[in-house]
Amino acid sequence: MIRITHQREKCIGCNYCVEIAYDRWRMSKKDGKCTLIEGKNKKGFYTAVVGDDEYIANVNAAKACPVKIIKVEKVK
Ligand code: SF4
């Protein structure tokens, strides 16, 4: 499994993560920030634990994020 973390309030809405890992990210029409699908909010940090098959796409999204607010880590 992997854990994806998103510090949503710092998102600038560039859409890169949505383009790179569409299964896990969507752009919000309400505030122009992206949303981590199935992410749970804890003090502004949204986290989702998902399957290893999403690892590469989300690592690439994290690398592409201009403000470096996506973190991807392997968990057991
Ligand atoms: S790549 Fe980063 S800044 Fe751009 S929409 Fe995704 S989380 Fe927001």
Distance 48 CA to ligand 1 centre (A): 16
- Separation of CA 76 and ligand 1 centre (Å): 26
Angstrom distance (rounded) from CA 74 to CA 52: 8
Q: Ligand 1 pocket test: which of 4, 5, 7, 11 has the largest number of ligand atoms within 8 Å of its C-beta?
A: 11
* Cα separation, 66 vs 74, whole angstroms: 22
Domains present along the chain, CATH in parentheses: 2-74 (3.30.70.20)
pLDDT per residue, tens digit, the chain (76 aa), is 999 999 999 999 999 999 999 999 999 999 999 999 999 999 999 999 999 999 999 999 999 999 999 999 999 8
Query: Is the CB of 36 within 6 Å of ligand 1?
Result: no
Locus of tokens 């299964």: 23
Look at residue 73 in the predicted model and tell me its pLDDT: 98
What is the full DSSP assignment across 8-24?
A: GGG-----HHHHH-TTT
Q: Is the CB of 13 under 6 A from ligand 1?
A: yes
How far is it, in rounded angstroms, from Cα 18 to Cα 3?
Answer: 17
